[in-house]
Structure 1
Amino acid sequence: MSQPGAEQGTPDVGDRLASVLRPVRAGNGFEEALEQVLQVVRLGLVPSGERLPAERDLADRLGISRVTLREVLKVLQEQGLVEARRGRYGGTFVLPRGHTTGEDELRRRLKGIDVEDTLRFREVLEVGAAGLCAAHGLTEEQADRLRDALARTHDAPLTEYRRLDTMLHLTLAELSGSPSLTAQYAAVRATLNDLLDCIPLLVRNLEHSQQQHTALVEAVLDEDAEASREIMREHCSGTAALLRGFLG
Structure 2
Amino acid sequence: MSEALRPMVKSRLYEQVVERLRAHVAEADLRAGDRLPAERDLATRLGVSRASVKQAIVVLEVQGLLESRHGGGTYLVRDTLDGEPLEQLVERRKRLPEVLEAREALETKLAELAADRRTAAELEEIRRALDFMRDEIAGGGFGVEGDRRFHAAVTAAGHSSLLADFMKAIAGQITESRTESLRQPGRPSRSLAQHTAIYEAIAAGEPRRAAAAMRKHVRTVAKVRLLTWVPED
Q: What interval of TM-score do these two structures reach, taking the shorter chain for normalisation?
A: 0.5 to 0.7
- Residue 132 of structure 1 aligns to which amino acid in structure 2? L
Structure 1 distance, partners of 2:217, 2:182, is: 18
The CA deviation string for residues 139-180 of structure 1, in whole angstroms up to 9 with x for no partner, is 222221121122111112455721221111011011100112
- Residue 138 of structure 1 aligns to which amino acid in structure 2? R
SS at match of 2:51: coil
Distance 1:103 1:210, change over 3 A: farther
What's 1:117 paired with?
A: 98
What's 2:121 paired with?
A: 141
Higher relative contact order structure (alpha carbons within 8 Å, sequence separation ≥ 6):
1
Structure 2 distance, partners of 1:193, 1:187, is: 12
What's 2:57 paired with?
A: none
| Percent of matched pairs sharing the same residue | 19
1:210 aligns with 2:175: no
The 8 Å contact of residues 142 and 188 in structure 2, kept in 1 or not, is answered as no
Report deviation, 1:137: 3.7
Q: 2:158 aligns with which of 172, 176, 181?
A: 176
Structure 2 distance, partners of 1:243, 1:223, is: 35
The 8 Å contact of residues 102 and 198 in structure 1, kept in 2 or not, is answered as no
What's 1:88 paired with?
A: none
- Residue 116 of structure 1 aligns to which amino acid in structure 2? P
Distance 1:144 1:200, change over 3 A: closer
1:228 aligns with 2:210: yes
* CA RMSD, 1 decimal: 3.5
Unaligned runs of 5+ in 1: 1-46, 52-74, 85-90
What's 1:55 paired with?
A: none
Structure 1 distance, partners of 2:87, 2:144, is: 18
SS at match of 2:132: helix
1:127 aligns with 2:108: yes
The CA deviation string for residues 22-72 of structure 1, in whole angstroms up to 9 with x for no partner, is xxxxxxxxxxxxxxxxxxxxxxxxx839x9xxxxxxxxxxxxxxxxxxxxx
Report deviation, 1:132: 0.7
Structure 2 distance, partners of 1:166, 1:129, is: 15
Instruction: Name the TM-score, length of structure 2 as normaliser.
Output: 0.59
Aligned length: 166
Report deviation, 1:138: 2.2
Instruction: Name the TM-score, length of structure 1 as normaliser.
Output: 0.55
The 8 Å contact of residues 122 and 153 in structure 2, kept in 1 or not, is answered as no
SS at match of 2:222: helix
The 8 Å contact of residues 174 and 182 in structure 1, kept in 2 or not, is answered as yes
